[in-house]
Structure formats: C-alpha cells, structure tokens
C-alpha cells in the first residue's frame, strides 16, 4: 500500500475524515511524532519511503525532494505553495496540489480579529489591566473608515461582507476584474497608490511570489495615510519588517496586526513583537477547526484522485507535469 506522510502539524497523529478516506482508498497514513512543523532533516529521514505528502506550510526543499524516489504527489493543506520547491517538483514530475475554497472565511475572521485587536487596543488594554492599570484612552471606530484590500481573490472577497457589516467603505487593488462582485458590494477599484493614500486600514491578501516579495517597504509605507493601520494575514515575505518597524515607531502608522512573519517562527528578539501597537498571532489565520478539516479532507481527496487515475484540475498548481504523469 502506498504511504502518505501526514506532514501538516495540526492533523499529524489526529483522527479525521481525511485519514478515513486515505485508508478506505488503500493508502497508508504515516505520522512522525509531535505536531510542530517538520524540519528538512525530518523530511529527509522519512521521505525515502513516502509516495505522497499532505503538507503544511513547512519548507519542502529540492534537497528533501531529491531523497524521495517514490514521491508522486505533494498535497498542500492550504492555498499558498511558496514553501514548496516547484522547480524540483516539476523536474521530477511530482503533482503539487492546493485546497482552494476551504479556508478563506477563517483567514478573514482572523484579519478582522487583528483589526479589532489593534484598533480597539484589546490586547494592550488587557496587559495594562492585568498589571493593575486602568487606561481608557479613546480609540478610533471602524464604522465610516476606509478598508483597503490589496488583493481581491477568495480571501479578499471574504473580507468584504465583514467590512460592510462594520459600516466601512471598501476600496481594492486587484488587476483581475469582477464587476458583478464589485457592484453587489459597492467596491471601488483603485490603483495601489490611491489605496495607500485613502485607506485607514490596509489589509494584505496576496500570494508570495518573486514579484510580490518585499512589496511593502519603506517607500510604500511612506505612501500610506498618516495614522493608518496595517494588517498582514498573507505571507511575511511580502513585508520588509525593518521598514514596518520604522513606520510604526516613527508614528506614521498607528498600529499593525500580524499573523505572519519572515522567517517563521520569528525570533523572540524580533522588535515587532515588543511594540505595544502591534497585535500578533502565530500564522493561525487559515487553520480554525472547520477550515483545517476541510483543507485536510480536500488534500487527501487530491491524493486519492491521483492514485486512482483522476486529475484534480482545479487543485493542481503545476499542470505542466500532467502529460505522461503516473503514480
């Protein structure tokens, strides 16, 4: 029976529909101990005996792929795949899949949690109160503010009804048109420069690519509205963290909510973690209980489809390997 490594930490050594489906299809789930992200050394230890991986966000490097002669599929439990060496997978004709449509609501909820946390000073007030203080500084409202969405894919779109519910105005930077969606929700498409100048809150919803790496740097932060808030639930690599720190400590930006860092996990010495106007979380935006089950189930189904000779077109991110592909 082919072996499927359960690489994603939250589902490793855990029951669930994903595991039941794999077993029913004649595949053997393989777990390593613990729930922390697998290291390159972990992967290189186990991959020689593995035919497919249900991968989390941990790096799957060319070096790891090179020691996996049986590997036919890497199924990401999520929608980002920047952690996978796609060129190495392509060279070996390994199918790489993602799980679209499974976690956008979870990410949007986390983004709004961070917005509320930093704008309403929830974490900061909690710390002050526990220390014996009683700080009732006035905070800005969400209602009437402009929410700028950088990216309007599934996650960006999931942000929209939540922003509307908070009586916010919404602008978006997104090159791919969607006039029906924009008309339904009253979204105004703008240039990036216009979005930065108008938005009280800038929220990132972009994939990490060679084009977007370091997209938010000193000059871009300087174009943001004075006193604005910055939210990142996408990827840490989109941001030059030293430049964000400078914008936050100079007073140009009022605060930030960060679910992602570069690298991850961040060093305890990362200065962003020590700023009172930053609310942070450990890259948990896309992994609430329901989203994790949905992602794991779809990732497992992608592996099953490939094993049984079906090609999961909507999930494969490297379709160029399809010709001549075999298990």
Model pTM score? 0.92
Looking only at the bridges linking them, the beta strands covering 73-76 and 52-55 are parallel
CA distance 132 to 136: 13
Digit-coded pLDDT (tens) for 75-117: 999 999 999 999 999 999 999 999 999 999 999 999 999 999 9
Residues 12, 124, 205, 235: which is the catalytic one?
A: 235
For residue 284, which of 44, 3, 9, 61 has the smallest C-alpha distance? 9
Mean of per-residue pLDDT scores for the chain: 96
Q: 317 Cβ partners below 8 Å, 6+ apart?
A: 81, 86, 96, 97, 98
Residues 198, 241, 246, 264: which is the catalytic one?
A: 264
* Superfamily of 104-280 according to CATH: NAD(P)-binding Rossmann-like Domain (3.40.50.720)
Tell me whether the CATH fold assigned to 3-102+288-321 matches the one assigned to 104-280.
Answer: yes
Q: Is residue 205 annotated as part of the catalytic site, yes or no?
A: no
Q: Which two tokens stand for residue 45?
A: 């230890």
Say which DSSP state 103 is in. S
Tell me the mean pLDDT in the region 54-67. Answer: 94
Q: Is residue 193 annotated as part of the catalytic site, yes or no?
A: no
**pLDDT band at residue 1 using 50, 70 and 90 as cut-offs:** confident
Whole-number CA gyration radius for the chain: 21
User: What's the pLDDT at 34?
Assistant: 82
Mean pLDDT lowest among 77-81, 149-153, 161-165: 77-81
CA distance 315 to 163: 29
User: What's the pLDDT at 36?
Assistant: 78
Q: Is the pLDDT of residue 37 over 90?
A: no
**pLDDT band at residue 301 using 50, 70 and 90 as cut-offs:** very high
User: What's the pLDDT at 57?
Assistant: 87
Residue with tokens 């106007």: 277
Q: Is the pLDDT of residue 282 over 90?
A: yes
Q: Which residues pair with 233 in a beta bridge?
A: none
Give the relative orientation of helices 154-165 and 104-119 as an angle to the nearest 10 degrees.
50
Architecture of domain 3-102+288-321: 3-Layer(aba) Sandwich (3.40)
> Using an 8 Å Cβ cutoff, are 114 and 234 in contact?
no
The domain segmentation of the chain, as residue ranges, is 3-102+288-321, 104-280
> Using an 8 Å Cβ cutoff, are 272 and 264 in contact?
no
Q: Which residues pair with 95 in a beta bridge?
A: 73
Q: Is residue 35 annotated as part of the catalytic site, yes or no?
A: no
CB atoms within 10 A of CB 207: 15
Q: 102 Cβ partners below 8 Å, 6+ apart?
A: 79, 291, 294, 295, 298
Say which DSSP state 58 is in. S
> Using an 8 Å Cβ cutoff, are 171 and 149 in contact?
yes
Digit-coded pLDDT (tens) for 187-228: 999 999 999 999 999 999 999 999 999 999 999 999 999 999
Q: Which residues pair with 55 in a beta bridge?
A: 76
User: What's the pLDDT at 22?
Assistant: 98
Provide the b/e sequence for 305-318 (b: ≥16 CB within 10 Å). Answer: bbbeeeebeebbbb
The region, left, alpha or beta by phi > 0 then psi within -120 to 50, assigned to residue 251 is: left
Residues 72, 76, 283, 293: which is the catalytic one?
A: 283
User: What's the pLDDT at 168?
Assistant: 98
Say which DSSP state 253 is in. E
Q: Is the pLDDT of residue 311 over 90?
A: yes
Q: Which two tokens stand for residue 90?
A: 């392509």
């Amino acid at each position: 029976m082919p072996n499927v490594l359960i690489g994603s930490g939250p589902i490793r050594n855990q029951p669930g529909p994903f595991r039941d489906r794999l077993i029913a299809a004649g595949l053997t789930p393989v777990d390593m101990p613990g729930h922390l992200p697998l290291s390159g050394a972990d992967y290189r230890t186990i991959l020689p005996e593995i035919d497919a991986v249900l991968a989390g966000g941990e790096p799957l490097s060319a070096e790891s792929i090179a020691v996996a002669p049986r590997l036919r599929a890497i199924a990401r439990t999520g929608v980002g795949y920047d952690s996978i060496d796609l060129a190495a997978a392509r060279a070996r004709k390994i199918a790489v899949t993602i799980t679209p449509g499974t976690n956008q609501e979870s990410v949007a909820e986390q983004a709004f949690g961070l917005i509320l946390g930093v704008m309403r000073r929830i974490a900061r007030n909690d710390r002050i109160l526990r220390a014996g203080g009683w700080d009732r500084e006035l905070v800005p409202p969400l209602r009437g503010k402009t929410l700028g969405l950088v990216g309007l894919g599934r996650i960006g779109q999931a942000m929209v009804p939540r922003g509307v519910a908070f009586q916010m105005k919404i602008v978006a930077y997104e090159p791919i048109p969607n006039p029906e969606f924009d008309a339904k929700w009253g979204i105004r498409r703008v240039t990036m420069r216009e979005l930065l100048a108008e938005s009280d809150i800038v929220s990132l919803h972009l994939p990490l690519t060679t084009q977007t790496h370091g997209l938010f740097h000193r000059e871009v932060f300087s174009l943001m509205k004075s006193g604005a808030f910055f939210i990142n639930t996408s990827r840490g690599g989109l941001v030059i963290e030293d430049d964000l720190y400078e914008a936050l400590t100079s007073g140009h930006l009022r605060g930030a909510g960060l679910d992602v860092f570069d690298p991850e996990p961040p060093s305890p010495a990362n200065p962003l973690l020590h700023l009172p106007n930053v609310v942070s979380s450990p890259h948990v935006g896309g992994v609430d209980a329901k989203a994790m089950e949905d992602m794991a189930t779809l990732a497992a189904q992608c592996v099953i489809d490939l094993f049984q000779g079906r090609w999961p077109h909507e999930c494969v991110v490297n379709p160029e390997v399809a010709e001549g592909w075999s298990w």
